[in-house]
Structure 1
Amino acid sequence: MVGNSSLLFANGQRHVEYRAVLGPAMRGRSLMGYRALISSVADDAIEKLSRTPTVLLLADWARSLALHIVGRIVVGGERATDSILDRYGAWVDGALGTRRKALAYRYLRGPSSLVQPWGPFIHRRAQLRRELLAEAHRCVSSGDLSLAKLLILGDHALGMLPDEELVDQIMSLLFAGHETTASAIAWTLFWLDQNPALNSDLREELESTTSDGSDGRDVPLLDAVCRESLRISPPATIAGSRILGEDGEYFGRGLPAGTKITPCIYLAHHQPDIYPGPLRFDADRFLKTRRSSSEFFPFGGGVRRCLGSDLAMMELRMVVAAMVRQVVFVCPNPKQGVPQQRGPAMGLGRNVRMEMSRR
């Protein structure tokens, strides 16, 4: 799905180089350059909601929103990019949208000439790669700012990337940049609906400030709500595996060098000695409390920590802030609010509906 030379699987010096090139563009002062874009895409999505209640599939709505945000950041462009992103989203959903599709995608692979399901997947992938590559080059020549432009210009340690490697990175950034963020947006709105007093308190906080949520220090309750959502329902349930370089003892058990260890984010976030009542949504856990990286790590950790974690947090706060300010949302079927696997991510069940109407 993301290509053989994807930065998601890069190791050693190549991995270091990718982080050095892309990392600065997704943290620190660079984040402020995305505020207007995020606000614009979110406001457009909210504007389409009528004054009368509109019932939406929450996970699908959040996924489309997150994809169009990251698509503008990665590829650039305006409306011209939207149709490509819509087709990209449909292609991903065709492989991961249900458990049956995901199993077929993983196990029913054969010659690309076969009609179902591998042949169409390969054909659409090739078409999307061509379109995204062409759009990225077009946006560079038009002067648009984008992550793809950073990679195309080649004025960095990576050098000039061949088109095959470049489009692998575009596909990787699109996939990694929207699936997990969309899951976080959907879960946060779901938990707010399930906690009306908290939703009311959050609306009061937002009404008392002009902050758009981009800086968590301006809206501490909003930031705490988003972090608690990432704790109780982390989009990624496990972090990248580690290989022990030498013998050691871990939790009283001796493990030899070469042992593979996979940190489980979900289990770490549900330890009752650290988070009493771990299945209870409680934003107070993150108000005036700074959690250590061994207690709270929704974006992984170490050298493999998600490159876009700061951008994802800012986007999550801004979208939730805009929704709470502008939309009344009510979930009519909360019992459907159970996790559903989508490839490497764990999202909100796709049958969860949200009745939305603008204030």
Structure 2
Amino acid sequence: MNRTELRFALRMIPFLDSVEDFEDGMVRLRDRRWLVWHPDVMAALFRNDRDLRHPPSRTLSPLLGNRSVLWLDGAEHTAYRRTLAPMLRGARYRTLIEEMVDRSIAELPAGPTSVLMWTRRLTLRIIGRVVFGVDDDELLTAFTRWLDRRLGSRVRTLAHRYLTPGATRSDPQLDAMLLHRARTAEPPALAAHLPPEDLRDQVVSLLFAGHETTASATAWTLYWISRTPEPTADLDATIMESLRLSPPATLAGNRMSDEGMVITPSIYLAHRRAATYENPHAFDPARGQPPPGAFFPFGGGVRHCPGKDLALLEIRLIVTALLRHKHVRLSSPSCTPQLRGAAMAPPPSLAMVAACRR
């Protein structure tokens, strides 16, 4: 590993900040691997995505499994997305989400609580209901502990990635609980349509991807609203600007050509490119429509997130309900992003006090 790739791995956000002014929108991490963010390159890459391979993440594949839909290619990937996509259509879950949001708001303590921990608990409950059809807080708590042991800090993430490369990071007891719940779900949407040997990887992938980035995006939206003296009445524009400036995923997965060239799109850098966005570090929900390839918080090409509509609905309903029922005050005027793999969230120390509106 050369010095550039080492900086990228160990201190990703400072490294990305250090190269954001590269006008060509790309930097070589090592021989035959490039980090790219120029909008023209991104648009072309996503247009031709079906002709590329998608190597698994060295951080996440030991967690989610090698059979996760996130790493499959070709006809297999297309078939799995067709199976999973109907589960993730947002509109069918509006009533469920509203009920779970109201319950979580009612459970908020009178004193400070971590914004991120609250949004993670809530979004995991929601995707748990989507996947399993029932509430199972014991199972979801065990899932959270398992994730935290492996991704709870940058040190843990890097230790698992580089000190035990290739080693599985699954938990047999947790896997047995997840499989039992998936097989007894009503209706058994996953178990009825997936090969038994792939069921575990898809369940874990749905739970992880279905709550981690949504929780981060919701927390970031609340953070930016708290930092804006005169917030806009257009919540959708506020959410989109939050996704631009604080994307919950810094990278959009690896692409590999037939010649073995690996290209890693940087969402973080594409969204902060000065040649694309005027005053890119300012939070401005009134920005116009960005050009193709300049805004992709949910990824792009054949790898765009199938749960995008569900995630946006959750963010909108959570923020709307919280601000309608509570007067929300955040504890800190600024915060340093925290990474879990390539996911970027506010630190757990960012606390909110949610007082009842009179």
Whether TM exceeds 0.5 here: the answer is yes
Does the Cα contact within 8 Å between 1:326 and 1:358 map onto a contact in 2? yes
Deviation (angstroms), 1:24: 3.4
Match of 2:310 in 1: 311
**Counterpart residue identity of residue 261, structure 1:** I
**Counterpart residue identity of residue 173, structure 2:** Q
Match of 1:19 in 2: 81
Distance verdict in 2 for CA 1:110–1:18, change over 3 Å: closer
The whole-number CA distance in structure 2 between the counterparts of 1:293 and 1:24 is: 27
Residue 232 of structure 1, aligned match among 245, 257, 277: 245
Match of 2:27 in 1: none
Match of 1:33 in 2: 92
User: Which string of whole-angstrom CA distances, capped at 9 and with x for unpartnered residues, describes residues 280-299 of structure 1?
Assistant: 111111xxx43344111001
Q: Secondary structure at the match of 1:262?
A: strand
Give unmatched runs, 5+ long, in structure 1: 113-117, 155-159, 203-220, 246-256
Match of 1:57 in 2: 114
**Counterpart residue identity of residue 344, structure 2:** M
Instruction: Give the fraction of aligned pairs with identical amino acids, expressed as a percent.
Output: 43
The whole-number CA distance in structure 1 between the counterparts of 2:304 and 2:336 is: 26
Does the Cα contact within 8 Å between 2:328 and 2:354 map onto a contact in 1? yes
Deviation (angstroms), 1:110: 9.2
Does the Cα contact within 8 Å between 2:87 and 2:130 map onto a contact in 1? no
Does the Cα contact within 8 Å between 2:112 and 2:351 map onto a contact in 1? yes
Match of 1:223 in 2: 236
The whole-number CA distance in structure 2 between the counterparts of 1:348 and 1:47 is: 23
Match of 2:7 in 1: none
The whole-number CA distance in structure 2 between the counterparts of 1:56 and 1:303 is: 38
Match of 1:268 in 2: 270
Deviation (angstroms), 1:94: 1.7
Match of 2:213 in 1: 180
Residue 128 of structure 1, aligned match among 164, 171, 174: 174
Deviation (angstroms), 1:90: 1.7
Does the Cα contact within 8 Å between 1:338 and 1:348 map onto a contact in 2? yes
The whole-number CA distance in structure 2 between the counterparts of 1:111 and 1:260 is: 19
Match of 1:4 in 2: 66
**Counterpart residue identity of residue 105, structure 1:** H
Does the Cα contact within 8 Å between 2:91 and 2:310 map onto a contact in 1? no
**Counterpart residue identity of residue 291, structure 1:** P
**Counterpart residue identity of residue 83, structure 2:** V
Q: Secondary structure at the match of 2:251?
A: coil
The whole-number CA distance in structure 1 between the counterparts of 2:341 and 2:266 is: 16
The whole-number CA distance in structure 2 between the counterparts of 1:358 and 1:127 is: 41
- TM-score (normalised: structure 2): 0.77
Match of 2:222 in 1: 189
The whole-number CA distance in structure 1 between the counterparts of 2:238 and 2:317 is: 12
User: Which string of whole-angstrom CA distances, capped at 9 and with x for unpartnered residues, describes residues 111-164 of structure 1?
Assistant: 99xxxxx9xx65xx2111111111122223xxx4xxxx322223xxxxx511x3
The whole-number CA distance in structure 1 between the counterparts of 2:260 and 2:162 is: 29
1:46 aligns with 2:105: yes
More helix by share: 1
**Counterpart residue identity of residue 187, structure 1:** W
Distance verdict in 2 for CA 1:18–1:46, change over 3 Å: same
**Counterpart residue identity of residue 262, structure 2:** K
- TM-score (normalised: structure 1): 0.77
Aligned ranges 1:336-347 → 2 under 5 Å: 337-347=335-345
User: Which string of whole-angstrom CA distances, capped at 9 and with x for unpartnered residues, describes residues 54-103 of structure 1?
Assistant: 2011111111111111111112213xx12111111121112111222223
Distance verdict in 2 for CA 1:32–1:331, change over 3 Å: same
Deviation (angstroms), 1:329: 1.4
Q: Secondary structure at the match of 2:247?
A: coil
Does the Cα contact within 8 Å between 1:271 and 1:278 map onto a contact in 2? yes
Distance verdict in 2 for CA 1:329–1:271, change over 3 Å: same
Deviation (angstroms), 1:352: 1.1
The whole-number CA distance in structure 2 between the counterparts of 1:259 and 1:103 is: 24
Count residues in correspondence. 295
Match of 1:280 in 2: 282
Does the Cα contact within 8 Å between 1:293 and 1:301 map onto a contact in 2? no
The whole-number CA distance in structure 2 between the counterparts of 1:325 and 1:106 is: 43
User: Which string of whole-angstrom CA distances, capped at 9 and with x for unpartnered residues, describes residues 149-203 of structure 1?
Assistant: 322223xxxxx511x31111000100111111111011110111111310xx43x
The whole-number CA distance in structure 1 between the counterparts of 2:126 and 2:141 is: 12
Deviation (angstroms), 1:338: 1.5
Match of 1:94 in 2: 149
Residue 75 of structure 1, aligned match among 122, 132, 137: 132
The whole-number CA distance in structure 2 between the counterparts of 1:231 and 1:111 is: 33
Deviation (angstroms), 1:260: 2.1
**Counterpart residue identity of residue 84, structure 1:** L
Residue 348 of structure 2, aligned match among 347, 350, 353: 350
Distance verdict in 2 for CA 1:131–1:317, change over 3 Å: same
